[in-house]
Structure 1
Amino acid sequence: MKRELIAGLICCLCNFKIQAQSTKQAFSDLKTLNYTVESAPDWTNALIRQSGWFGGDGIFTIPMDGIEHRAARGKVLFIFSDSMIGGINDGKLKPGSTMIHNAVAILDGKERGAAKLKFYWRKGKGDKAESVFIPKTAKTENGDYLWLGDGFVNKELNNDLFIFAYRITNVSNAAFGFKEVGNVLIKIPAGDKSPYHAQKQEDTPFYIPDKGEGGGSFGAGIYVNTKSAGAPAPDGFVYVYGVIGKWKQVLVARVLPQYFEKYDRWTYWDGKAWVGDVRKAEKIADWVSNELSVSPLPDGRYAMIFQVGAMTKDIGLRIGTTPYGPFGPAIKIWDCTSDLTNKHYFVYNAKAHPSLSKPGELIISYNINSTDFFKDLPSDPNMYRPRFIRLKLQ
């Protein structure tokens, strides 16, 4: 009897060791993910609109209760960068439509219908549409405007809303006619509503000037790894991702949420440790897009979602063992060719939206634009808007 008990114990220990090794191998696998992917017409169609806001890019979604890692049960803030305001009639652009540089929308988390999505922008003289966020920092110069990065509700700082923004100016000597000149942090006190009259803006040290290899900025994505945000494996930090250079390299910073506004408390991953000098930050991935996301997977790994090579037809996914890597090679999960119905059209800035996603899936957006925008828009005014796909994890 004693011999059988010992043998049984040894068998159990062996099985436990085999299972532990199998789990470790699966966790360290950065190349394999069981999934299916399909279009998400419910979300894509929600942004086909005929009046008011009818197009834009730069879409990020922020759950207003600060719980990031599940489908939102309350309101969700959508933030957009360049946006078209006006009207469409019989598939053609109405006269008087205009572009502003950012806008927002609010969705009630309990309702998913397009009618529940309400858009907001400022109104100037004669009800002229204006951007919600207009730069007013110390370094702002005439002609500057703001495009928006990621944001979150900081439950450790009074539930205030923080949004990164990029200060942009138009230039004649750049491929697309603009360049980034600064990084801005927008703070909106809890309870303030659009157009956010109580907002505060400040220049940050997170803009990295172009020195020949291409500049960059932090704010391309945020991962809130805290218990209060519902993170599955919280370490208490907020991770902020930056994209730099012509090779679109990803850098990552982190800070405790209560010190989010104290830039001297931020640290940067140098490949081995967290250091206080942003100049020592090392890439954790490359060949991504200027906007991206990092989301937890059910098996404990992390998924970085992005447009491969900034503006190719493919949406990519990299698997990581932590929010700061290491991340594996790009897995191409979706070909956007069917959206490229015009030779001028291109795709960019794919990312996931956990607050829109059911358990076991990730809703992913991507943007469509044209290199001949103002020529193509009048005949195809609904071209310029996000599309969505649904990644289902097996």
Structure 2
Amino acid sequence: MRRRRLTAGCAVLAIGAGLLAGCSEEGKQDRGDCEAITADLDWAQPSRSDDARFELSGPGWVGGDSTYSVQLPQERTLWLFSDSLIGTVDEGGTPDPGMTMVHNALVVEDDSGQLSTLTRQGPESFLPAPDEQTYYWVQDAKVEGGELLVFLSLTQQVGEHGFEWERNTLAHVSLPDLEVTEVEEGFEGPVAWGAGLMTTPTHTWIYGIEDREEVKHLHVARAPAGSLADRSTWEYLGTDEWEDDPDESGRLAKGVANELSVSPFRDGYLMISSDTSQAYSPKINAWTACSPTGPWVQPQTIYETPETQGQHFTYNAHGHPELSQDGELLISYNVNTFDFQELMNNPTIYRPKFITLDLA
């Protein structure tokens, strides 16, 4: 089912030659007087019609995780997946012998809802690995300056199925043909930027996760509108002020996951993330704030994933405001299993699930 852009209390209105934003874009954590932080959020509801979008038999993508989305020109939606299973499956979910896993893949949805998979020949990852021991997982993406900018996590293979994050990179992808033109290196520091992106009239807000300890911490940077690709324009929120040095970036919240979303909500902002305060928690939480930087109020649990049981677990929930119906937020989360052989025997386990949150 095709969805329309979310209409929220913080919608941007064009007035003459200027723009009026319904939400504050204050950079400091000093606002606590908005209606958004008092909201008592409802329990989210499963969206089977959105689940069905990815119940694919192939040939092409038949399972994967991350599930970021971005609107492309020509009324297309691009879905960005990290580890993905490529091949065909029968009605019972049994894969063909040639099914393979790649570390990232793109799925393009046209204006009729038709889906097509983009990988390199082989099949191999759409964004090729730098060497035999590393690969790229995708993060959030944005169309800017006539190209698609995709944040990537350069990941090190550890053992047969283990991994370790190394650093951020940024891919430049041409439009409308979706060809990789450059993978930009040079990100330093412990924060994985691009866990979520949000655009307001004056800035792009870049949310990052520090995942070097047992607890994951939220960080935020901002770039002037239209300047996301120029990292010299970025500023990082420190203890109380914006800093030019990424090493001065401060911790803003904890218990968030490696993927999340922030979007306008009433007269403030709404952050959606899987709960990581406990290992493999089934909870999906929502935080609210009056500013894109917080402070984020105590999270509310809006859903518990029924798939989390036995060997199965869920993770990396985030919203898709650009695909949401008026007055609600469409949210995806990923499903996986600790039993890798089970996954290879039944790729249908490895598909995103969707829920909708009422924002009225």
Same fold (TM over 0.5): yes
What do residues 303-348 of structure 1 show as CA deviations (whole Å, max 9, x unaligned)?
1000001731011100011111111111100010x2135x111110
SS at match of 2:45: strand
Q: TM-score, normalised by structure 1?
A: 0.77
Does the Cα contact within 8 Å between 1:289 and 1:311 map onto a contact in 2? no
Q: Is the 8 A contact 1:31 1:328 kept in 2?
A: no
In the other structure, the counterpart of 1:132 is 126
Give 1:165's aligned residue.
152
Aligned position for 2:37: 30
Q: Which sits farther off after the overlay, 283-292 or 256-265?
A: 256-265
In 1, distance between residues paired with 2:198 and 2:293? 10
Residue in structure 2 matched with residue 286 of structure 1 by the alignment: 254
Deviation >6 Å, runs of 4+? none
- Residue from 333, 336, 342 that aligns with 1:366: 333
Q: Match for residue 96 of structure 1? A: 98
Offset of 1:27 from its aligned partner?
Answer: 1.4
Q: Which has the higher contact order (CA 8 A, sep 6+)?
A: 2
Greater helix fraction, Structure 1 or Structure 2:
1
Q: Does residue 1:348 correspond to 2:329, yes or no? A: no
Match of 1:82 in 2: 83
User: Structure 1, unaligned stretches of length 5 or more?
Assistant: 1-23, 66-72, 209-215, 227-235
Select the structure that is richer in strand: 2
Contact 1:225 1:237 in 2 (8 A): yes
Normalised TM-score (structure 2)? 0.84
Change in Cα spacing, 1:134 to 1:257, as seen in structure 2 (3 Å) is farther
Q: 1:121 matched to which residue of 2?
A: 119
Superposed displacement of residue 379, structure 1 = 4.2
CA deviation after TM superposition for structure 1 residue 247, in Å: 1.0
Contact 1:54–1:85 at 8 Å: present in 2 too? yes
After superposition, residues 133-282 of structure 1 pair within 5 angstroms as 133-135=127-129, 140-154=130-144, 157=145, 159-172=146-159, 177-193=162-178, 196=179, 198-208=180-190, 216-226=191-201, 236-245=202-211, 246-282=214-250
Look up the match of 1:335.
304
Give RMSD over aligned pairs.
2.1
Partner amino acid for 1:168? T
3-state DSSP of counterpart to 1:377? helix
Superimposed CA distance per residue, residues 350-389 of structure 1 (whole angstroms, 9 cap, x where no aligned partner)? 000012101111000000011122x212443200011000
Computing the radius of gyration from Cα coordinates, the structure with the larger value is: 1
Structure 2: 5+ residue stretches without partners: 1-30
Listed one character per residue, the Cα deviations across residues 188-223 of structure 1 (whole Å, up to 9, x for unaligned) are 233333xx1x52111132542xxxxxxx41110101
